[in-house]
Amino acid sequence: MAISGTRSPGRGMSAAAGHDASVEEARIYRKVTWHIVPFLMLCYIVAYLDRVNVGFAKLQMLNDLQFSETVFGLGAGVFFLGYFLFEVPSNIILHRVGARVWIARIMITWAIISGCFMFVNTPTSFYVMRFLLGLAEAGFFPGIILYLTYWYPAARRSRMVCTFMTAIPLAGLIGGPLSGWIMETFSGVQGLTGWQWMFVLEAVPAIVLGIAVLMYLDDGIRSAKWLTEPEKRLLETGIAADANDKVPHPTLKALFSDGRLWLMALIYFCCVMGQYGLTFWMPTLIKTAGIKGVLNIGLFTAIPYSAAVISMLVLGRSSDKYRERRWHLVIPMLMGAVGLVGAAMAGTTNTGIAIVFLSIAAAGVLASAPLFWSLPTSFLHGVAAAAGIAAINSVGNLAGFVSPYLIGLIKDMTQSTDIGLYVLAGVLVAGAGLVLSVPARLVSK
């Protein structure tokens, strides 16, 4: 007679085996994460710093070169026109030739161009260099997002993308004080201005890391010598099962005819409007809040970026834990809108309150972008993922052109950034509404 409450040996052995398999799977993914994600984050910190350090250069550059706010905003945004033109071809090339060679090429090219910003002396040269920088860097971010799909199935990807993209606030956290220190310390050395030294010195790490990519990064699971054969099979099984759950796009024409792709691009456009409106103008907003001195402004930018790091990690983990994607994107977008409006209302009257609202804005706006990527990668894979991710990113990043130019234009017209911040907040609210129009079943992984 079986004793009540006991398990049969077969059932107990099955449960134990399942538990052991789950523990082993978790161990393997931890191994993958520690091997590739910190290195990719370091690369992106350098990339993002070289992309937005022009916001710090602005504190000296405008006076030195007699640029208007509109000239600066247009130059900051022109980067994304070059980015837009070459992003889809770049990602398709990466998918064909491999991540290792192509990411190294991107990093070394943009480093050389970024360093050459020391020679900028007219609006035209500023526009040309920003355009070339965008052309050189195109494909880096969507290439990394694509690269992560080679290693992680959809159920694990949101947390990994959020972890990777904490490089954005970390770039601000590290780069703000660093840029301020370089500009203040090296001003006048060898007859160069502080902003010229900043561009040169902050380009060096990208060259070093570009060379390191060639030696360290693997193109995918099969080429990873640090994985055992059973580990490779487990990872490949997870990716294959994930791909089987998706409806394939037989051709690129079918992909670009898919309305979901363009809805995603529009949502991402709204996210990016907030992201670059905040990051390009953060030093100016901190200065407007009442902080004086380039070094002090750099140090105070670390506060909002610190809040963003915490927000991204917490929300990314929560999104994967509950397998919920829409509200995990809507809430930070609305947080960003509230923070931008609050910062505009606080203005110069209360520095402490302005910094608090800028921190709320950064925590919401910068968390939105990585959380967004769990939506399109839930239905894209293979070559369609390479082209689709790049298309969404390139169209969405046109907001990187619109946002800084719009704020610069408004600031020249009104002598204030307030209206620009209200516009960005409205775009974020509209984007949150679009997210809720996406069927939950489409992004439930």
pLDDT at 381: 66
Whether residue 154 is predicted with pLDDT greater than 80 in this model: the reply is no
Q: What is the pLDDT of residues 394-417, one digit of tens each?
A: 788 888 888 878 888 888 888 887
Q: What is the pLDDT of residues 295-326, one digit of tens each?
A: 888 888 889 989 998 998 898 888 878 878 88
pLDDT at 323: 79
Whether residue 445 is predicted with pLDDT greater than 60 in this model: the reply is no
Whether residue 169 is predicted with pLDDT greater than 90 in this model: the reply is no
Q: What is the DSSP letter of 221?
A: S
Distance from C-alpha of 366 to C-alpha of 114, rounded to nearest angstrom: 24
What are the residue ranges of helices labelled H in 347-376? 351-372
Distance from C-alpha of 61 to C-alpha of 121, rounded to nearest angstrom: 9
Picking from 120, 412, 126, 113, the residue whose alpha carbon sits closest to that of residue 284 is 412
Picking from 207, 205, 211, the residue whose alpha carbon sits closest to that of residue 112 is 207
The tokens describing 236, both together, are: 């490949």
> What pTM was computed for the model?
0.72
Q: What are phi and psi of 281, to 5 degrees?
A: -105, 0
Q: Which residue has the higher pLDDT, 211 or 386?
A: 211
- Cβ-Cβ contacts under 8 Å for 406 (sequence gap 6 or more): 73, 277, 420, 423
Among 165-179, 317-331, 341-355, which range has the highest average pLDDT?
A: 317-331
pLDDT at 359: 93
> Locate tokens 């927000």: which residue?
311
What ranges do the domains of the chain cover? 28-443
Cβ atoms of residues 429 and 95 within 8 Å = no
For residue 128, what pLDDT band results from cuts at 50, 70 and 90? very high
Percent residues over pLDDT 90 in the chain: 34
Whether residue 21 is predicted with pLDDT greater than 90 in this model: the reply is no
pLDDT at 394: 78
Cβ atoms of residues 267 and 319 within 8 Å = no
Cβ atoms of residues 90 and 105 within 8 Å = no
Q: What is the DSSP letter of 310?
A: H
The amino acid occupying position 329 is L
Domain 28-443 has CATH 1.20.1250.20: yes
pLDDT at 3: 41
Distance from C-alpha of 46 to C-alpha of 41, rounded to nearest angstrom: 9
Cβ atoms of residues 249 and 258 within 8 Å = yes
**Beta-sheet strands, E only, within 95-184:** none
pLDDT at 11: 53
CA distances from 59 to 115, 207, 412, 423, 434 (A): 18, 26, 16, 24, 36
pLDDT at 425: 94
Distance from C-alpha of 209 to C-alpha of 213, rounded to nearest angstrom: 6
Mean pLDDT of the chain, nearest integer: 84
pLDDT at 233: 92
pLDDT at 360: 95
The amino acid occupying position 170 is L
pLDDT at 271: 93
Distance from C-alpha of 117 to C-alpha of 125, rounded to nearest angstrom: 9
The tokens describing 394, both together, are: 């390139």
Comparing 15-29, 178-192, 319-333, the range with the smallest average pLDDT is 15-29
| Averaged pLDDT for residues 18-27 | 75
Picking from 159, 126, 150, the residue whose alpha carbon sits closest to that of residue 30 is 159
Cβ atoms of residues 316 and 370 within 8 Å = yes
pLDDT at 201: 93
For residue 244, what pLDDT band results from cuts at 50, 70 and 90? low
